[in-house]
Amino acid sequence: MASIVLVTDSTADIPPATREKLGIAMVPLKVNFGNDSFLDNITLQPAQFYEKLTSFNGLPTTSQPSPADYLEHFKRLTEEGHSVISIHLSGALSGTYQSATIAQSMLEDDADVTVIDSKSASYGYGQLVVIAAEMAQAGASKEEIIAEVGRMREELRLFFLVDTLEYLQKGGRIGKASAVLGSLLNIKPILSIDKEGVVFPYDKVRGQKRAMARIAEVLHEDLGDRPVNLTIATTPGFTSGSAEITELLKQQLNVRTFNETDIGPVIGTHAGPGTIGLFVFPER
């Protein structure tokens, strides 16, 4: 039986040590500061990115991997005899998934590559990749892994809390007038991603503490005492509230496992410093 290798892209925000331990192949997106281009989470780490972001006059841009970038990985892995499951950033947010799909179509017919649209972002699909890789190491079949990824994709609860509306406005996600008014009123938008992988404003709350309490309340009402896996992803600029929201969620939810990770440069370009992501996966 061929071994199964997971491929993903850098916006999954999987800690490097975890990727290495599980043999996960990662294809990076690019972050561009003017004419200077960097590979997300390879030549530009999160701490370096947020430091550059505060001093850069303008907004960096991001670009997706090309089909050739994926083809190189797919060909190497399949020629080595591996079966590949490739899971990527929501196709509604980026052309990254499409690039991987095009690369798959360029392979020989006997190359065993399955490409999946996570319909999510950051560790919202990073954990899908991690659990899939753990299942592969434990000897699960490709069919079993794909079925579990599909189940988890449907079960995921995901929220982003941004500290400032500035970066959403700069990136064209909201209008300037809304950003100015929201900042004056200390509005903290709570963002989520729908079943089609599209970001939408779940709620707007005045003040960070109220926003955190609202997220905890919503998750408690939804999940009750159901056991969950909780991961919190933060930017280096988010320090004052991470411990507080963690404690709130642990009080409101039956948390079986808890992990932390960093929000990387690509997601941070659009959300800005001071952002926190909450990813809750209910157990069976």
Could you report the per-residue pLDDT of 218-263, keeping only the tens digit for each? Answer: 999 999 999 999 999 988 755 556 788 889 999 999 999 999 999 9
Please report the domains of the chain, with CATH numbers, ordered by start residue: 4-29+64-154 (3.40.50.10170), 157-282 (3.30.1180.10)
Could you report the per-residue pLDDT of 92-151, keeping only the tens digit for each? Answer: 989 999 999 999 999 988 899 999 999 999 999 999 999 999 999 999 999 999 999 999
Selection from 66-70, 93-97, 209-213 with the highest mean pLDDT: 66-70
Q: Record the pTM.
A: 0.89
Q: What is the pLDDT of residue 209?
A: 84
Tokens of 98: 């499409």
Tell me, letter by letter, the H, E, C secondary structure of the chain: CCCEEEEEEHHHCCCHHHHHHHCCEEECCEEEECCEEEEECCCECHHHHHHHHHHCCCCCEEECCCHHHHHHHHHHHHHCCCEEEEEECCCCCCCHHHHHHHHHHCCCCCCCEEEEECCCCCHHHHHHHHHHHHHHHCCCCHHHHHHHHHHHHHHCEEEEECCCCHHHHHCCCCCHHHHHHHHHCCEEEEEEECCCCCEEEEEEEECHHHHHHHHHHHHHHHHCCCEEEEEEEECCCCCCCHHHHHHHHHHHCEEEEEEEEECCHHHHHHHCCCCEEEEEEECC
Share of the chain above pLDDT 90, in %: 66
Rounded CA separation 111/90 (Å): 24
Instruction: List, in sequence order, every residue forming a beta bridge with 241; answer none if it has no partner.
Output: none
Could you report the per-residue pLDDT of 164-174, keeping only the tens digit for each? Answer: 666 665 544 44
Q: What is the pLDDT of residue 169?
A: 54
183 or 101, higher pLDDT: 101
Nearest to 200 by CA among 97, 116, 282, 90: 90
256 or 179, higher pLDDT: 256
